Amino acid sequence: MNDLRSSKQDERMEEMLEMLESMEKEQTQKDSIIQQKDSEIRTLQGQLNESLNLCEKLNSENKAENVQALKNELKQTKELLQSEKEKKKRADSTIEECQDKLRQAEREKEYALTHQKKVEIPVEKPVLYERCRNCDRRAYQQAKERYEHQRNGLEKKYKAKSVGFDAMLVVLWWYASVTTIFAAIRSEIFIGDFTAFVDTVWNGIYQSGKWIVNVGNALAQVGDRIPNETVAIVVHWLLLIIVIVGTAVAVGMLMVIAEKKVTMVYRENCWDVISVGVVVTSIALVVYFGDWIKDFVKLNLVVLLLLVQAVYVGIRVYVNGCKRARGYS
């Protein structure tokens, strides 16, 4: 019902608009006619004035014939003026009627615009390669099936090739790592430097632990000053345990924080195949050419490897930071 009402209102609006256009055209035509009639009336008035002047001249000259002719012309001009005035009155009345109709049509138009109801008509979106519902879709379905089949086949081939490439890469890196480890085991210079590095680290840990125990004993002696022997023993061991456990916990927390920071930096900047290649290549160079390197650099080979990795990570962090600052990544 709402659709019918809206359609009727639209038809009525269209009729009213057409009627308004026709009325405007008629009004323009009538305005042009009135202008023409006004110009004709002005010309007739000029002619009348001229004829009156002539009549005065003829009266002065006492010419009866010319006076009679002029009187006839005056009558004709008066009749023409009266007829033109009547036509002008009729035109004015028709113009007023058209203006009234135009005002009424504008009121009806405003009423229709303010009181009309908007109805949403669902429109189906056209589907690609489908012109209408009655078309034969067999060719489209066949082409779509062939495309899906080819795409699935290409995706399977790509996955198989990518898996094979990854497997080959893993095998190559594993082979390089194993051969490098075996060569390192057989290298006396590398084994000696590795043993010295481990001994140095162990001695450092041992000395640090011994120093922490001595500090704990020194602080625990505060409890020995208590007169009560039982309380003094409890306080002594309690202070010793607090110092040792607190130091161990603090060192462990620092190590965990440092490990998280280093891991985060390494993952953000160096977690790729290039880093693996740098590690394996540096280890291989140190293992196979360790005796030559020791002739030029009097430094532990394990420490040298750690320094190379630190320099590499620093370079990668600097380069990635410059890229981020310039908006490249």
Q: pLDDT tier at 291 (50, 70, 90 boundaries)?
A: confident
Q: pLDDT tier at 130 (50, 70, 90 boundaries)?
A: very low
**Full DSSP string of 98-165:** HHHHHHHHHHHHHHHHHH----PPP-PPPPTT---TTS--HHHHHHHHHHHHHHHHHHHHHHHHHHHH
**What global pTM score does this model have?**
0.46
Q: pLDDT tier at 254 (50, 70, 90 boundaries)?
A: very high
SS3 245: helix
- In this structure, which amino acid lies at residue 280? V
- Sign of the C-alpha dihedral computed for residues 172, 175, 179 and 184 taken in this order: positive
The pLDDT value recorded for residue 88 is 72
Averaged pLDDT, 110-117: 64
Q: How far is CA 150 from the centre of its chain?
A: 33
More confidently predicted of 306 and 225:
306
Write down the residue that tokens 């009325």 correspond to.
23
Q: Which of 281, 279, 301, 306 is nearest to 291 (CA)?
A: 301
- In this structure, which amino acid lies at residue 285? L
Residue 99 CB partners (closer than 8 Å, separation 6+)? 27
**Full DSSP string of 180-230:** HHHHHHH-HHHHHHHHHHHHHHHHHHHHHHHHHHHHHHHHHTTGGGSSSHH
Where is average pLDDT lowest: 62-66, 74-78, 96-100, 180-184?
A: 62-66
Q: Which of 308, 285, 274, 276 is nearest to 180 (CA)?
A: 285
Taking each helix axis from N to C terminus, what angle separates 138-186 and 188-220, rounded to the nearest 10 degrees? 80
Instruction: In whole angstroms, give the CA distance from residue 98 to residue 19.
Output: 10
Beta carbons of 20 and 110 less than 8 angstroms apart: no
The pLDDT value recorded for residue 112 is 65
Q: What is the mean pLDDT of the chain?
A: 77
Residue 181 token pair: 């480890």
Averaged pLDDT, 93-108: 75
Q: Where does residue 62 fall: left (phi above 0), alpha (psi -120 to 50 degrees), or beta otherwise?
A: left
> What separation in angstroms does the CA of 3 have from each of 24, 51, 53, 116, 121?
31, 71, 74, 11, 9
Residue 109 CB partners (closer than 8 Å, separation 6+)? 13, 16, 17
Averaged pLDDT, 302-306: 86
pLDDT digits (tens, 9 = 90+) for 184-227: 788 888 888 888 888 988 998 889 888 888 888 887 777 777 77
Write down the residue that tokens 């995706």 correspond to.
155
H/E stretch holding 29 reads: helix 2-61
Beta carbons of 77 and 47 less than 8 angstroms apart: yes
Q: pLDDT tier at 108 (50, 70, 90 boundaries)?
A: confident
Instruction: In whole angstroms, give the CA distance from residue 183 to residue 169.
Output: 21
Beta carbons of 197 and 302 less than 8 angstroms apart: yes
Residue 289 token pair: 């050419």
